[in-house]
Structure 1
Amino acid sequence: MLEKAKDSVYFSEEAIHFMRNAIGKSGIGDSTYLAEVYLAKILDPCIKESRRKMELSVFGSIDTLLAKTGVRCEDIGILVVNCCIYNTMPPLSSMIVNRYKLKESIISYNVVGMGCSAGRMAIGLAEQLLHVHHDTYALVMSTQSITENCCLGDDRSKFLTNCLFRVEDAY
């Protein structure tokens, strides 16, 4: 990541030095995954790349969860999706409903713009819904996306997330 930043026209030497220190102090090593968009010759953190990364991480996480638990898609009656920044049309919750062909009567919430800690709120919402809807499963997808929101420039307060969040995480 630092080599790509050095080769770009977006960051000063001072910014590169700050990034090196931030990454070093965070415990992130050289083997930490970096999204492909950041490895391209020309950095283009666009919505198309962000959607591609969201689909890979979110769908991959759900596929793994369903395989491990044996829960069938038709048994899921509640979907709560939390993403702090990624807010597109169609919403992430609709992308999940369509991908997994969840039932028409699914209770679906798309919680956005509330920061990383909204994952706890999403779980609380699912828990409250399960008190009312007893014979169903709830799927809570808590994730974040920084691809289209990476900061290109020397404002330290804005590009610290570039150093700490390298790929969309889904939980």
Structure 2
Amino acid sequence: MSEVHMVLFPVFEDLLVKTNRTPPDIDVLIVNCSRFCPVPSLSSIFVNKYGMRQGIKNYTISGMGCSASALAIDMAKNILKSHKNSVAVVLSTEILPTGWYPGKEPSMLVINCLFRMGATGILISNKKEAKNTAKYELLNTLRTQRAFNDKGYFSAYLEEDSDGFTGVKLKRNLLEEAGETLRSNIAVLGSQILPFTEKILYGVSILKKKLADKKSTTEMYVPNFKSVIQHFCLPTSGKPVIKEVGKELNLGESDMEPALMTLHRFGNQSSSSLWYELAYLEPKERVKKGDKVWQLGMGSGPKCISLVWECIRPLSGEAQRGPWTETIDRYPLNM
């Protein structure tokens, strides 16, 4: 619980100051943390500590892995559809001590090396006046998953080892299953946001693949998402994963830079990492009004969640605030 106090409370308070809000202003509160599930829940802890309103809609998301923050945004969007003139806050973190594996199974020890401490707070609103202060407008959200497939479902699985220690076992097919989940998400998202010519080229390549001989090495056409998306925030599960996702999307080094630099500076902070990547782009002054940002969250299950945002106002002064304040000038590095 001390890590919650140290990480999440300051993030929430900083968010309120930056957005000129008070706790009673919040109508919807969503807190996500995969492995730490206290009673009362994390969201209830916030309601109690900050004296939030009796009618607040508060939710706690657990067990959703690195995709949880993006999933929480999608959840908040759907809640706001039925709650007009409202403000929602999403708080994301991963409390590390509860996920520590003390055993000797190699495939379960990997998790101990993957994650670092971090947290983020995001405020979204459907109030009309929010357009005057908001940085981004949420254009698209898309969730896909492969929990129906046993190979995918058990590729990252919480279980006991032979000594009775509990940990998450990572299977060798994890990257393969993650790739399949990503491809299904890309296909659906592409049909929603890509220009007509890209849809045709992709559709023709699917048809060719189906008609080709099984032994054929015909490659699928990779849609040019850069024709509609200017910036990409990718999963920071490791350099090989970033490179593989970048390959799947036909991205260049500059497109993968936010993910690679975030991984180098902060490590893999699970669901929070997507926002550290966005916080990297802003002080670099790369996000311009009208630009679109694609945040791609991938987690155990496996599942994939895409968020597409549009910058709706010029951004300035971001180098003086945020997690990169003291180090942004040192990046990018060669990796």
- The two structures have a TM-score, normalised by structure 1, of 0.65
Given that 2:30 and 2:43 are in contact with CA atoms closer than 8 Å, whether structure 1 keeps it comes out as yes
- The equivalent position to 1:71 in structure 2, one of 13, 16, 21, is 21
Q: Is the 1:80–1:122 contact (alpha carbons within 8 Å) kept by the matching residues of 2?
A: yes
Query: What is the letter of the counterpart of residue 76 of structure 2?
Result: A
User: Could you say which residue in structure 2 is the equivalent of 1:20?
Assistant: none
Helix, strand or coil: the match of 1:116? helix
From 42, 59, 64, give the equivalent of 1:92.
42
Partners in 2 of 1:106 and 1:157 — Cα distance? 42
Larger relative strand fraction: 2
Q: Per residue, is there more helix in 1 or in 2?
A: 1
2:242 corresponds to: none
Partner residue in 1 for 2:107: 157
Aligned to 2:77: 127
Q: Post-superposition shift, 1:166?
A: 3.3
What residue is the counterpart of 2:87 in the other structure? Answer: 137
Letter of the 1:149 counterpart = G
Task: Tell me if the contact between 2:27 and 2:87 (Cα under 8 Å) persists in the aligned partners.
Answer: yes
Partner SS for 2:27: strand
The yes-or-no answer on 1:112 pairing with 2:45 is no
How far 1:110 moved relative to its partner? 1.0
2:139 matched to 1:170? Answer: no
Any unmatched runs of 5+ in structure 1? Answer: 1-50
Tell me the amino acid that sits aligned with residue 83 of structure 2: H
**Which letter does structure 1 place at the counterpart of 2:19?**
T
Q: Is the 8 A contact 2:35 2:98 kept in 1?
A: no
Amino acid of the structure 2 residue aligned with 1:113: G
Quote how far apart the aligned CAs of 1:151 are: 1.6
Asked whether the 8 Å contact 1:74–1:102 carries over to 2, the reply is yes
Partner Cα separation in structure 2 for residue 54 and residue 158 of structure 1: 25
Q: Is contact 2:26–2:87 with CA below 8 Å preserved after alignment? A: yes
Structure 1 contact 83–116 (Cα < 8 Å) conserved: no
Q: Is the 8 A contact 1:84 1:115 kept in 2?
A: yes
Separation of aligned partners in 2, 1:106 and 1:60: 21
Structure whose CA Rg is larger: 2
AA in 2 matched with 1:140: V
Shift of 1:68: 1.2
State the partner residue of 2:10.
60
Identity %: 36
Q: What root-mean-square deviation, in Å, do the aligned CA atoms of Structure 1 and Structure 2 show?
A: 1.4
Report the CA distance between 1:164 and its aligned residue. 2.5
Decide which moves more: 75-84 or 112-121: 112-121
Per the alignment, in what secondary structure is the counterpart of residue 117 of structure 1?
helix
Gap runs ≥5 in structure 2: 121-335
State the one-letter code of the partner of 1:78.
V
Partner-residue secondary structure (3-state), 2:85? coil
